[in-house]
């Protein structure tokens, strides 16, 4: 297999597998945030700020995988 096609495969696998974990993590985060807002509607803005923060942390892992995929292809 030449380097070029191996690069394409590696890029696809890197971002494909790398976004599984963060997707599940963000789903869990948002689900528990929605649960707690349903239980306590007054604290909505506090919960919303913390949820966005948590989503940013989880999303960063997916971005690491994306950067690795881009480095494989373009460097």
Interface with other proteins (CB under 8 A): 45-46, 49, 52-53, 56-57, 59-60, 63-64, 66-67, 70-71, 74-75
Report the residue number, 37 or 66, with the smaller CB distance to other proteins: 66
- For other proteins, the closer CB: 20 or 48: 48
Distance between CA atoms of residues 46 and 17, nearest Å: 33
At closest approach, how far in Å is the CB of 63 from other proteins? 3
């Amino acid at each position: 297999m030449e380097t070029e096609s191996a690069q394409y495969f590696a890029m696809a696998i890197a971002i494909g597998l790398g976004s599984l974990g963060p997707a599940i993590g963000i789903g869990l985060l948002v689900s528990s945030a929605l649960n707690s807002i349903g239980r306590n509607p007054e604290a909505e803005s506090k919960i919303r700020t913390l949820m966005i923060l948590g989503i940013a942390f989880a999303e960063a892992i997916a971005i690491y995988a994306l950067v690795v995929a881009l480095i494989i292809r373009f460097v």
